[in-house]
Amino acid sequence: MLTINPKYIIDDKGEKTAAVLTMKEYDFLIKCLENLEDILEMDSAVETATDFRDYQEIRSELKKEGKL
């Protein structure tokens, strides 16, 4: 886990208006968001799925088709 240490830009009233991150911090956060998006999509797919097939059945079918 990467520690995020943002630097803040403040306005004349002393209120934070923006945050500055290193590229390493930014890339880490983007990767985390993409992973979260994938997890949420998978959760949604599992919730709405109506038919599941056994892994061995799928593997056997792919071998017959020469895809595995």
- Cα distance between residue 25 and residue 5, in whole Å: 8
In Å, how far are 9, 51, 68 from 64, measured between CA atoms?
Answer: 61, 22, 8
Kindly report, residue by residue over 10-63, the tens digit of the pLDDT.
999 999 999 999 999 999 999 999 999 999 999 998 888 888 888 999 999 999
pTM, 2 dp: 0.63
| Closest to 29 measured CA to CA, from 54, 57, 64, 5 | 5
Would you mind telling me the total number of residues written for the chain in this entry? 68
Percentage of residues in the chain having pLDDT higher than 90: 81
More confident call, 1 vs 61: 61
